Chains A and B, each alone.
Chain A
Amino acid sequence: MKSIVTFAEQRDGKLRRPSLEAVSEARRVADAMGGAQVEAVVIGAGSGALAAELGHYGADVVHVFDAAELAHYATEVWARALGQVIGEVKPAAVLIPFTAMGKDLAPRVAAATGAGLVSDCSALAVKDGKLEARRAVYSGKAFATVRWSGEPQMATLRANVFSLATPDSSRATKTVARTVDAASRAKVTAVNAAAGGKLELTEAQTIVSGGRGMKGPEHFHLVEDLAAAFGAAVGASRAIVDAGWVDHHIQVGQTGKTVSPNLYIACGISGAIQHLAGMSSSRIIVAINKDGDAPIFKVANYGILGDAFEVMPKLTEAAKAYFAAKG
């Protein structure tokens, strides 16, 4: 029977949302292939407890590598484990979330198995029993349709794009306990959480970004306040990252993060081409800018022409009231 293998990333005993998106998509692909089997792979100390949840999202079989020495991600070990399953199952396709871990892991597995790998896919289709992927290139300035010439067809999936299946807690799953050699030449020795446990940009449903229109780092709190009111992640343009106002890890655009949230609010961002590249696949874009000719208005759904310093506090206030009333 044909099968689709999917890698489920877990951290601290929890399946990360992009993993659930990948399992959901694997289910859809398997069904579109006429009833292929979805085989999920989960690796890590304590990961056995996650098998049932993967089943609820569509996995038929869950391969579990649960051992105390698998407390931290290690590329070589994870690649060995995933390679072991791929070698036995001989899947038609392998789907991996395009997260920091998936980005690191997938090429290593591709090198070991000789699979063709297509990165950062934003859509998959099944045509004549084969996969076809759509992916952004040049950070979204263009989109490529990509095909594989053999199997397994390995793809990494962009976070926040593939919809989650409605979990069905009555779905039964077969669990296969597995072991892997945990020797690795590169090892994690410490994990340091970012200050304030900030929301990850690429996985956020709403993003509020600030640019040069904020006039200086002392005003950037307006962006943070607005983000807090919306429960959003904070982003920034390259101009203010390069000026040293904010850290590079919140940069949106080429040489930063490419994001596709439901709602993107750009404050004082004119919309340089490399910034637009990184955010123009957001579902709804709001631009607040005092320059009516700013390119950001060409991609925005809603525009507010005005002084960000006047509009943002009012919007923060109104959003707080709105979300408080909504409960």
Chain B
Amino acid sequence: MPRTICHPSTIQDYLNDALSPEDEGAVEQHLTDCPVCRQCMTTAAGSGDDWTTITSALRADELDEGRQIVSDQLLWPLTLLGPTDDPRMLGRIGPFEVSGCVGVGGMGVVFKARDPALDRFVAVKVLSPQLAASESARSRFEREARAAAAVVHDNVIAVHQVSEYQGLPYLVMPYLPGPSLEERLRQQGPLAPVEALRIARQVAAGLKAAHAQGLIHRDIKPANILLSGQTERALLTDFGLARAVDDASITRAGALAGTPQFMAPEQARGETTDERSDLFSLGALLFTMLTGRPPVPEASGMETIHRVGSEQPPRLSVLLEDVPRALEQAVSALHCFAPSQRVASAARAESLLESLLPTAGRRPLQRRHATDCAGRQSSLPANLKQLPVWQRWTLIVLVVCLCVAVWSKTSDPPSGHSAATASTGARRRPHDTPGTDSAVTGVTPVDIDPALTEPDSAADGLAARFGRQSSDTEASASSAPELAGSPATEQRPHDTTVPVSSDESESKAADTIKPNPPALEDPDGVQLDALLQSIDRQLEHLENR
């Protein structure tokens, strides 16, 4: 289709790598003669400030002492390429002329390349040399890539070709400049239910087609979902690659290629996986789209694997306000710990998600206040384990005292049920087992029994309180050991306040995204603060002995 070259949108597309090779050449030629487009290109690339900031950061000054400013050490993916005759290209893989490297991951390198036969850009994914060294990983990669090539569906990225170049298997896919779901979430935060469901439904449809061919994806995560242009089509990529990585035994060495945050529990435990494992990951994906963060926070590979394999996944309503019941049930039905209780097939998942679309909300669901604590809370057991046993117990006793103190100060007495839940949570803490985190917040981990999905507002109110305390305690608990003996101990008074970002843009971003920063605003909070400080002091005292 012919395009107007002299147009701002063409310039944008050029910078976004969204033009065909032919149009790219035309734009470059056109710029030589068109000062308007030249200006347009410059401002589209970055504001005047951007140009100044970046170029001055890259300019050597007297502090650099003649050292190399921009390292040329990151060129290793290019060593995978063969020589090319075209000076505009980086090299070639088989018949494909490589013009750039789109990404480097644990599994391999993705190049942007020109397909000379059809004069179009394609994405060429080359298995990393380390993985390719394992014979079973290689054959798995090739076998599964061929199987994926057989899946023809709107929501599964097409595999044009599977081949090998200098001992490295590669596959050729359409080049899609659109963002991945991961990028989208990072840029925009949580999605509106209607948008999240639309994407999840398409992923389910893609999985249905793949499962029909006996192909299990095993690595459904936001980075593997590509969003295509304005039509908002979601495409599944990277079939079978997860298995190739497993075969290469890299996982057993502890260096995980991918994130296990979206894995099904049975997969994390190394048990047999089936179609339902993909559906669990789909549930985790939906959870992430709605809340803006994965159900399991990022930690080291082994810790995450352990948590995924042993803990009940969190409920939506623990993190979000006013979750429609049907939506919560749907997420729980997918994101369900026991495979036998999960939605049984991708086809059912698709119709379930489809049925929710007409009533789905158009605005992202609001986060609960206590949500901000969840991330820190989760690291509490890990930090506790770092302390010697007697210190740990001292801390625990202090936390229990604190809980009791605040609870007795609460002006509106909570119902018997929720109080019992909360104190059970506090008492369970000494056992220090992962998986009791949610008990501290007063919310019991729930299987997908629909009767239990009704949010208990009294319990949640208390949960908010206790959530705050435990996480604040955790913050001070970890601050004392960390800073002891380091020069930074001097800034203790500064440290006991909520940490302030020194970066203006960061704090600005945080403000816009998080309308309700957790502040100690209630009267109890003042007391809480004092108690926390005394715990802090005692811990410091313990440390110094």
User: Is this pair of chains taken from one and the same complex?
Assistant: no
